[in-house]
Amino acid sequence: MKHESIDSLLRGRTLLLEVAPEDADYRTWIELSLQDELKPAYPFRTDSYAMLGNSPYSNHCDHNIAAFKLRKSSFFASDIENDFDTSYDKVGSYIKLNTLDELIKYLSENKLLIDDFTDSSNIDDYPL
């Protein structure tokens, strides 16, 4: 079972999924990433301008020790559309998931699929 999204997570990328907001005036995302202490270090033996983020040779976290954090955040849609500074009042607290199995179970219980998440570098509207 090979998931591109899981591979991106293990390489230290942040994934996002826009979900239906509870209030029509907002836009809501779920943010998913490795816990900070498990994010892979940038390799030392590269030029400072080298971009290895999507390289198959970039460092990654072993899936056996991977632990994740997830949060739900909402922002005023009008602030985003008008390029205003957004309010962070509705940025949720992180939920910690200590294994890949816990992550998959949590997503399943909330009717979410890991493959629906997108690399945050491909999303311009997310304010964080």
d(CA 4, CA 32): 14
pLDDT (tens digit per residue) in 31-59: 999 999 988 876 555 555 565 555 666 67
Q: Answer whether residue 95 is part of any domain.
A: yes
User: For the chain, what percent of residues have pLDDT higher than 70?
Assistant: 85
Q: Answer whether residue 127 is part of any domain.
A: no
- Which residues span the domain enclosing 72? 4-122
Q: Answer whether residue 128 is part of any domain.
A: no
Number of separate domains in the chain: 1
DSSP string covering 34-69:
E-GGGSPPPPSSS-TT---TT-TTS----TTT--EE
Q: Answer whether residue 41 is part of any domain.
A: yes
